[in-house]
Chain A
Amino acid sequence: MKADTLRTLSHHAVFVSVVLGLWEWAARTGFIDPSFLGSPLGIIGFTLENLANARLWGDLGYTLMAVFSSFFIGSVAAMATGLAFVTWPKLEAFCEPYIAAMNVLPRIALVPLFILWFGLGVGSKIALGVSLTFFIVLSTTVAGIRGVSQDHITLTRSLGASSQQMFFWVTLPGAVPVLFSGLRLGLIYALLGVVGAEVIASERGLGQQLAYLGSTFNVNGVWSLLFDLALIGVLIMKLMNWVERRLLHWQ
């Protein structure tokens, strides 16, 4: 490990220790009310207990399954729609006002409808995740395809490339860098949508556990799950960065 990295890590360790130390001291001395703000040792205690609980892992699997399903369905649908829009600009012009209206609609407001249509199970969570992922990936797909180098297109046209060759050999790889930024954001939004829907109404999932802990005033538990969710978000970003490095090693 490089000296710079070690130094940065030690700075973070000192900062986090000071913040947690002050927080614990304030909770113990009554400076803050731990039943509203929790305490670091209480959070660690809950986390260790929860890690040994099969329910956490079940809920984690349930949430992640919904997140990746939303991401997959939303991204594939968005990329297909984006491709159709670029191929038939008149279709894009026709759909534009509807897409714009749906995009500005606070998607969380659709949860009651999704619950009516898909029930309390995973379906309504996936639906909300898809509704968030779709528009982000759609706009980057269109931007990515439109941003493909005109020189590359001219050269490939002059060679008499078929539509498939043009798409798979030029358009798709040329659009990937922009598309990937949308996919990365889309995955985070899928997590946001799924957990949001679980918090509102669900039978299972980390969001449901979070809502339950909040409603029973288990503040340490809420903090613990929030840290878990932040960790999941960071790991998802790391995963996407890894995939991006593999796919876009040429950049």
Chain B
Amino acid sequence: MIDVQHIDLSFDGTQWVLQGVDLHVKSGEFVALAGPSGCGKTTLLNLCAGLLDLPPGQRLQVAGQAPKLGSREVAYMLARDSLFPWLNALDNAAFGLKVRGMPIAEARDRAAKMLKQVGLGGFEYRMPKALSHGMRQRVALARTFAMPSPLLLMDEPFGSLDAQTKLQLQDLLLQLCQEGNRTVLFVTHDLSEAVALADRVVVMSSRPGRIVADVTVPLERPRSIRQLQTNENFHRTYAQVWKHLEEGWVHHEG
């Protein structure tokens, strides 16, 4: 689904943001991209979404073609909920579908079902200002999952939530992914989140961003975030990913 081959990227021609990055994500896989702040995780995600232009001669393919803005294969979710304050929850959830040309009634119908699925049935006509932080992020999840795109690019979607809400939404995300058979590239700096959600955790070093490890998570699906807290494999994988992350720092400082 995603094929990144040895990408080098610099914005100013002097400092590398990404260096020699290879990444392959198979269809149906959930891959977490972890690494310290500023290591180029979001840049790599934006390249896949077509939000940044690829330097000439570099090879990056998403769903078999060069990334392009508005590709129906891809749905993008930002770190902040980014709900439109002038639209109610239903119209926010239907926004992506409407932009992509779905008739309004059909888009609303689909969005309403999605809102119910994320636990916001009955909140369709609430404005974002009347929703809690966690509820707004649920609407953003509904907006992302309402689109039938097989590939989801998620940029630290739970990064700004409190611990309890974060755990609830991680469980919800696991559930939605298991039902929808989507491919997910999930950027996070939270290692436990990466291990809990993903099939593989790809660890990046500090700038310039390089892939320093690709760790397969030996946890079966379906998963539950709560049960993982007592799972030995979870803690072992967490320690392994943490070690790779530390090596990335040492490599950078060295």
Contacts and interface: CB of A to CB of B under 8 A. Distances in A.
A184 B68 CA distance: 42
A168 to B, nearest CB: 11
B104 interface: no
Contact of A160 (B78, B80, B100, B129): B100
B16 interface: no
A156 B78 CA distance: 11
Interface in B107-144: 127-129
A158 interface: yes
A158 B70 contact: yes
Interface in A150-174: 151-152, 154-161, 165, 169-170, 173-174
A250 interface: yes
B86 A173 contact: yes
B86 A160 contact: no
A149 B70 contact: no
Contact of B82 (A149, A169, A176, A250): A149
B129 A165 contact: no
Contacts of A158: 49-51, 69-70, 74, 76
Q: How large is the interface on B (under 10, 10 to 19, 20 to 34, 35 or more residues)?
A: 20 to 34
Nearest to A162: B99
Contacts of B85: 250-251
A206 B69 CA distance: 57
Contacts of B50: 158
Interface string A12-51: 0000000000000000000000000000000000000000
A251 B70 CA distance: 29
B78 A165 contact: no
Interface in B183-217: none
A160 B51 contact: no
Nearest to B72: A160
Interface in B89-106: 95-96, 99-100
B71 interface: yes
Contact of A161 (B51, B86, B99, B129): B99
Given A157-B51, A157-B69, A161-B70, A151 B99 contact: no
Contacts of A174: 84, 86
Contact of A159 (B84, B86, B99, B127): B99
Is the contact region of chain B dominated by helix, strand, or loop, or is it mixed? loop
Q: How large is the interface on A (under 10, 10 to 19, 20 to 34, 35 or more residues)?
A: 20 to 34
Contacts of B95: 159, 169
B76 A155 contact: yes
Contacts of A248: 86
Nearest to B70: A160
Contacts of A157: 51, 69-70
Given A151-B78, A173-B86, A250-B86, A159 B100 contact: yes
A114 to B, nearest CB: 39
A160 B127 contact: no
A251 B84 CA distance: 11
- Which of A151, A174, A250 has the most B CB atoms < 10 Å from its CB? A250
A155 B75 CA distance: 9
- Which of B69, B82, B129 has the most A CB atoms < 10 Å from its CB? B82
Contacts of B74: 158
A87 B69 CA distance: 20
A155 B46 CA distance: 11
A161 B95 CA distance: 11
A155 B78 contact: yes
A156 B99 contact: yes
Contacts of B87: 250
Contacts of B82: 149, 151-152, 154-155
Interface of B: 49-51, 68-71, 74, 76, 78, 80, 82, 84-87, 95-96, 99-100, 127-129
14 contacts: A151-B82, A155-B76, A155-B78, A158-B49, A158-B76, A159-B100, A160-B68, A160-B70, A160-B99, A169-B99, A250-B87, A250-B128, A251-B85, A251-B129
The 9 A-B residue pairs with the shortest CB-CB distance, nearest first, are: A160-B70, A151-B82, A158-B76, A159-B99, A250-B86, A173-B86, A161-B99, A160-B69, A250-B127
